[in-house]
C-alpha cells in the first residue's frame, strides 16, 4: 500500500466521482473503489466482499467517534455508498 499526501484533495474526489458534499479529510482508493473520510474498516471489507456497482464509500465531515476521531461524545453518522450516477444511499449507520 502506498500513501501520498496531496495539496488538493478535491481534485482526487472529482477524479473518482465523489461530490464535495460527501467529502471528508482523506481520500483513498482500494481495489478501484474510492474511500472518502473516516470509513470503518468493517464497511470497507464488506464493500470488497460484496463488490456492488458503486464509486465507493464516504463518511462526510469528521464525525466524532468515527475511526481516528475517537471522542468521549461520539456522534451518530452514516456510511454512504456512492452510486455510479453520483447519488448516495445509506450503507451503514453508526
Asked if 58 and 90 count as a contact pair (C-beta separation under 8 A), the reply is no
Q: What is the pLDDT of residues 72-92, one digit of tens each?
A: 888 899 999 999 999 999 999
Whole-number Å distance between alpha carbons of 71 and 43: 20
**Backbone dihedral region for residue 51 (phi beyond 0: left; psi -120 to 50: alpha; all else: beta):** left
Q: What is the pLDDT of residues 22-71, one digit of tens each?
A: 988 788 889 999 999 899 999 999 999 999 999 999 999 887 767 777 88
Whole-number Å distance between alpha carbons of 68 and 6: 19
Whole-number Å distance between alpha carbons of 91 and 68: 20
DSSP state of 1: -
Whole-number Å distance between alpha carbons of 44 and 50: 10
Amino acid at each position: 500500500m502506498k500513501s501520498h499526501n496531496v495539496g488538493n484533495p478535491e481534485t482526487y474526489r472529482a477524479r473518482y466521482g465523489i461530490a464535495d458534499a460527501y467529502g471528508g479529510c482523506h481520500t483513498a482508493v482500494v481495489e478501484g473503489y474510492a474511500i472518502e473520510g473516516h470509513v470503518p474498516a468493517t464497511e470497507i471489507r464488506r464493500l470488497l466482499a460484496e463488490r456492488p456497482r458503486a464509486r465507493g464509500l464516504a463518511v462526510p465531515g469528521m464525525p466524532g467517534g468515527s475511526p481516528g476521531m475517537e471522542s468521549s461524545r461520539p456522534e451518530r453518522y452514516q456510511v454512504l455508498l456512492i452510486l455510479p450516477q453520483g447519488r448516495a444511499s445509506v450503507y451503514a449507520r453508526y
